[in-house]
Structure formats: structure tokens, C-alpha cells
Amino acid sequence: MNIVSKNKKRVVLPSRPDPPTVDQILEDINRAAPNDPVFSILEQTGQDSSRPSDTDVELKFQQCRQYLELNERLQEARGQLIQQREELRAAGEQLDRDVAEVKGQPL
């Protein structure tokens, strides 16, 4: 009896392409026809497929400004807290030395 071994070759798949860049995605969206199925799906789901309005852009801009201002204030507050912590630590060490000195004096 002759046993034939089946030699399975491993199929090597091609590597995946790189994902598209943001510019490529935007270019693809801008080139799409208005009747593209993606836009009709977005309309059905209540998502706006049009470009943001000027008021939307202004609102986002104001939100970004507020975020940056708040972030700056938080960084300043962090610096002040670090300084105050160091001052308290130094005052605590001085207080410990003063207490030790007072305890060391005869009554």
C-alpha cells in the first residue's frame, strides 16, 4: 500500500496596504458624487453629510480657545501649588526644629 502524503503549501498573503492619510480621505469625500450611497445613509441616520456651517466652525473655535485658556490656567495653578507645597514643607521643617529647640531648653 502506497501512502501519499499531502503536502500543504502555506499560502503567503500580500501585506496590507497602509491606511489612507487624512488628506486622501478628504479628497475622496470631496470627489464623491452627491448621490453617493454613503451620503444617503448619513441622511437616513441623521448625520449631516454637508460641510460644517460657519456657526459650527466658530463654536468649535471658541471651544478650542476656552480649552486652551483653561489648560493654561491649570498649568499656572499647578506651578503655584508646587511652590506652596515647597513653602509648607520648609515651614514644617523649621517648626520641627523650633519645637526640638524648645523641648531641649530647661524649664
Domain ranges of the chain: 20-51, 55-107
Question: Could you tell me the pTM of the whole model?
Answer: 0.42
> Which DSSP string do the residues of the chain spell out, in sequence order?
--PPPP-PPPPPPPPPPPPPPHHHHHHHHHHS-TT-HHHHHHHHTT---SPPPHHHHHHHHHHHHHHHHHHHHHHHHHHHHHHHHHHHHHHHHHHHHHHHHHHHS--
Q: What is the pLDDT of residues 41-78, one digit of tens each?
A: 766 665 554 556 678 788 888 999 999 999 999 999 99
Structure-model confidence comparison of residues 75 and 40, the more confident one: 75
